[in-house]
Amino acid sequence: MIVISACCFGSLTTLTLLATRAGLSLMNVIFWRFALAAIVLFLVTIRGRRAHAPGKSAFRLMLIGATAQAVISYLSFKALDYLPVGVLAFLFYTYPAWVAAISAITGREALTRARLIALVLAMAGIAVMVETPAAQSLSATGISLALGTAFLYALYLPALHSAQKDLPPFVSTFYLVSGIAISYLLIGIVTRKLALPGTLDVWVYLILLSIVGTVVAFGAMIAGLQVLGPVRTSIISTVEPFFTALLGALVLAEGLTVAIVAGGAMVATAVIFLERSSETAEPQFQ
């Protein structure tokens, strides 16, 4: 489920770029993505919501979506003003290391030897996949924003794991996505930049963004997160940048380099190793 989720999230960059190229502003792409997803989830989860009356979990999920996800999205886009996309991807995907460290310090999940090996291998794969210019040529502001986003996401993932335990995955996704949609609706009203998509092409991209990149992506992530916990989920999610690069090569003709293939193979190896090792007892790393 996490691999499916990561691939769905990996489609966001390509679909968002296609939608903005078709004439819709980025803010409107984000709003309509979540608004349409919330409508779909409202219809899909009618029975599930009747069986699980809204309570503290629903409120927490909406609050997490409306605040944490909105801040993470803003910082990610802001960091692009200072850093190349590849460097931002590398710095953001340090978040599995943050998740592992925070979970170990708080005692939520032990940092086992197998998890450490998989984490290092996945981080190395991300480093191979992206182009990283010399450190002295990078903006300190951009680095701070990117690492800050990674750290916030590392806090966001365990909080999401805790909040959605009592609810089915798609019911949890409905509340989370609704919170995000409300947040961007308010931003659009305040900035007076909300606009209705005007072409069929844009609507197609938005529907794909809402169904594939949101409903399926968040639903699968929450379902996998319930089983695996934050540490293993974050490590397995590192397949996302490889799928993003692969889809970019197929749809946007951006090219598929040897480095991307090699890095993707390293990430895949880390995922397989992590899952194989989880089938047996993992000695705690000292």
pLDDT tens readout for residues 139-172: 778 778 888 888 898 888 888 888 877 788 889 8
For residue 181, tell me if it sits in a domain: yes
Q: Which H or E run contains 222?
A: helix 217-236
Q: Which two tokens stand for residue 277?
A: 């090792």
Count of C-beta atoms within a 10 Å radius of residue 265: 13
For residue 249, tell me if it sits in a domain: yes
The pLDDT value given to residue 274: 65
Pick the more confident residue, 5 or 147.
5
Spatial contact of 114 and 282, defined as CB atoms under 8 Å apart: yes
* Domain hosting residue 19, numbered range: 2-278
Mean pLDDT of 62-74: 84
Q: Is the pLDDT of residue 85 over 70?
A: no
For residue 208, tell me if it sits in a domain: yes
For residue 285, tell me if it sits in a domain: no
For residue 222, tell me if it sits in a domain: yes
The pLDDT value given to residue 212: 93
Dump the DSSP string for 1-14: -HHHHHHHHHTHHH
Q: Is the pLDDT of residue 284 over 50?
A: no
The pLDDT value given to residue 117: 81
Q: Which residues contact 43 (CB under 8 A, 6 or more apart)?
A: none
Q: Which two tokens stand for residue 165?
A: 């335990």
SS3 of 58-89: the string is HHHHHHHHHHHHHHHHHHHHHHCCCCCHHHHH
Q: Which two tokens stand for residue 262?
A: 């090699």
Query: Could you give the C-alpha distances from 212 to 12, 158, 186, 206, 263, in angstroms and in order?
Result: 9, 23, 24, 10, 25
Spatial contact of 202 and 25, defined as CB atoms under 8 Å apart: no
Q: Is the pLDDT of residue 134 over 60?
A: no
Q: Which two tokens stand for residue 24?
A: 């819709």
Q: What is the Cα–Cα distance from 160 to 179, expressed in whole angstroms?
A: 13
Q: Is the pLDDT of residue 136 over 70?
A: no
Structure confidence at residue 256 as a pLDDT band (50, 70, 90)? low
- pTM to 2 decimals? 0.77
For residue 284, tell me if it sits in a domain: no
For residue 236, tell me if it sits in a domain: yes
Q: How far is CA 259 from the centre of its chain?
A: 23
Q: Which two tokens stand for residue 241?
A: 């940048």
Q: End-to-end alpha-carbon separation of the chain, Å?
A: 30
For residue 283, tell me if it sits in a domain: no
Count of C-beta atoms within a 10 Å radius of residue 129: 25
Closest CA to 137 of 91, 82, 78, 77: 82
Which backbone phi and psi does 112 adopt, to 5 degrees?
-80, 165
- State the total domains in the chain: 1
Pick the more confident residue, 198 or 52.
198
Q: What is the Cα–Cα distance from 144 to 209, expressed in whole angstroms?
A: 29
Q: Is the pLDDT of residue 278 over 60?
A: no
